[in-house]
Structures are given as C-alpha cells and as structure tokens.
A and B are shown apart, each in its own frame.
Chain A
Amino acid sequence: MNKQLHFVLPCMLLVTMGSYCETDVIDDPGFQFWCGEELCEWDLEEGEIRKVATWHEHDYAVELVGAPVLLANHADGGLPRCMRVELIADVEPRANLTIEIDYEPDGTSDWTVPVAREGFRSLAWEVYPQGSFPDAVFYVRKLGEGRAIIMQLRASSECEND
C-alpha cells in the first residue's frame, strides 16, 4: 500500500465521522490570524507588512510593504511526497517576489518560483520534495518596490497528478 493510501484512508474515516481532514503543511495559509500588527503564525524576518482587506472586509491578506521583505513559515509537520503549492496574490512584476522552500534550513532555498501576477489571480505548482523534511521552511521574499499582496499561500498533499 503506498503512502498516499495511508493518508487517504484515515481522511475518509474522519470525513465520514463529520470531521475534516488536515492536508495542509502551512499554518494560517490565508494570512487570517493577526496578533495586533503582526501575523500570529508567520515570522517576519525582514521588512514591513500590513493587514489589508481583499474582496471582503473580513477576508484578509498581507501586503509586503517596501523592500526587502521576508516572511517565513515553518512546516513543522514535514512535507508530503507530492505537494501542491497554491498562491492567490496581486503582485506587480517590479515587486520581484519569489516563493521559496528550504527543505533543510541551511539558508539555501531548494525550490524557488518567481511570481508576477496582477489582479488577485491564483497560481499552483506541484512540488516533489523527495523526502519528508520535518524542518522545512516556506519563504515569501520581496526584493522590489512594487505592490505585493498575498491572499493565500497553501501547501497541501492534494496533488492532482500524484
């Protein structure tokens, strides 16, 4: 029995019991949890951020103000064999924004993708970490002065091509 089946069967059991199944590896993927002016579940390692409303007054996003800005989230539960990374963001090209994953926190990103998509459009990638990497870190890095508003950065085991 493969790893995916090990994961899916308990999920089906939980769903039938009226619960939900947690497939995500990032805490607060929707940037909804704010402790004052700071995100509760994300670490601001550099720069400035602020809470902004998106389509609804109570559906929040994070705006990365100025440059450079670096946000980090530790995937404490490890990574699935196949991982779907989904981003909903409004990013000007000159913001020079990248999403990065450092599998082993050695300061060198093992997966990097540039993002330049204006107007709150969703993007998705499938990543194959080739290991569980219990200490992996997700980064949102902004190096340019352009507008960058991140509404959701999800990473889950819900791969479509797995």
Chain B
Amino acid sequence: MQQRTTIALLALIGSMFPAAPAAADDEFADGQTWGFEISFGAGWAPETEYTRRLEDFGYSPARGGHYRMSFAVEKILLPYFSVLLQTNLLDNRIWYRPSGIGPDDRFTWNSWALDAHARAFLPAANGRFRAYAQFGIGPTLTGSRLYTRTSTEPTQTEHREFKVSYNLAGLLGFEGMAADHVGFFVYGGYFFAPSLENLLGDRHQGGGGVLMAGLSGRFKRNR
C-alpha cells in the first residue's frame, strides 16, 4: 500500500515537472514577468561565540525571536531565470540580565538582509507551478540596543548601535498560481550573515535556517 502511494506521488511529481518544459504554454504564470512576494515563517539563528559571551556576562535569551518575514520584487528575464530584490528579517533577539538595581538590563537586536537574488526555476503543469533554486548576496543591516543604568538616576539609558555587514543566501522553493495574478509559495534555505561583533572580538552569525510561506502577485505580460 505504501509502495503504491509512493509510486503515485512520484508519478504526480513527474507529471508536474516534465523533462523538457520548452513549450510556450509552460511559461510560468502565463508569461507574467513581474511579481512581488510577501512571506512569513520561522528561522533559527545559530548559537555563536557572541551569544555564548552574552551568557558569560550574565545575560539570558528571552523566548521567541524565531519569526521571520520577507518581501521581494521579481523580474523574470528568461523563461527559466529571474532576478529579485529581496529583504529578509533575520535574527531578532532579546536578552535580559538581572541588574540587581531595578529593571533588568536588556539587549536587543534585529538583522535585515537586503539582497539581490538570482533565481533559476522550472515551470510545470502548464506554468501553474514552478520549483526554484536561488542564490542571494547583499548587505546585512543590524540595529542593536542596550538598555542599562549607567548613573544613579533611576532610569535606564538606551545605547543604540548600527552595523552593516554582508550575507549570502541559498534557498529552494515551490510556487503555485491560485488565480491569474495570485500565487502561493513556500521556501526554505540558509542565510550566512555575520552581524554583531563585541569588543572581545566575538562575531555573531545572524542568519541560519529559514522556512517561509507566503503570497505572490504576478502582472505585466511581455506580449
């Protein structure tokens, strides 16, 4: 029974991705060349020397911080190739430390990637679906804030820092058109995004694995 199910599933996948999808009606989304994408999901930034150092200094991570979001604009240039301008919320964390003198000390940061991506895709089922792989590179923008008391005044002081670094991304995804101009997609992959660095030389990697799902809009045919 399980074997039959597997064969049927493989047959279905095989029918969606023919060996040579060169026919004109295989153009994804009926040849619409512009698209925008919005997605939400989860991500897991790795523990690093940077976060271990925070623990050494008495900080503990707050729960959560695994949500991710992404926005992208896509331009299909060739039948199986497109470029995107994509932004991804990467690592966003809050760490606390008991101050012993009132509210806990708090250290927070958010990292955003702003990348140019190259996407290779394979349309299927008369262009209603596609699978894709993409690679991206661009800057990572990280803002951090330390809230701590640095005087006998009872209020905490906020210390902001902003850091620009780089990131590399590799993603695999699947997209289907639910209507002429609206589709849905899922993708997963990995970001390598060195971001924060402390005064002791420890660097954080604010990327990590992501798993996202979202909606896309398609418009503007060439013909």
Which residues of A are interface residues toward B (Cβ below 8 A)? 20, 22-24, 26-30, 32-34, 40-41, 53-60, 86, 88, 119-122, 151-152, 154, 156
Contact = CB atoms under 8 A, between A and B. Distances in A.
A116 B99 CA distance: 24
Interface of A is mostly: loop
A41 B150 contact: no
Contact of A120 (B56, B103, B157, B159): B56
A20 B56 contact: no
B148 interface: yes
Closest 4 CB pairs of A and B: A24-B100, A29-B100, A55-B198, A58-B159
Contact of B150 (A27, A60, A121, A122): A60
Given A32-B149, A55-B198, A151-B58, 8 more contacts: A20-B102, A26-B100, A53-B199, A54-B199, A56-B198, A57-B199, A60-B150, A122-B58
B146 A58 contact: yes
Contacts of A86: 58
Contacts of B146: 56, 58-59
B51 to A, nearest CB: 11
Contacts of A151: 57-58
Interface of B: 53-54, 56-58, 98-105, 107, 146, 148-152, 157, 159, 198-200, 202
A58 B150 contact: yes
A74 B43 CA distance: 47
B99 A30 contact: yes
B170 to A, nearest CB: 31
Given A32-B150, A120-B57, A55 B98 contact: no
A33 B56 contact: no
Contacts of A122: 56, 58
A60 B149 CA distance: 10
Contact of B152 (A23, A33, A88): A33
B101 A28 contact: yes
B150 A33 contact: yes
A57 B54 contact: no
A55 B102 contact: no
Given A88-B57, A122-B58, A55 B159 contact: no
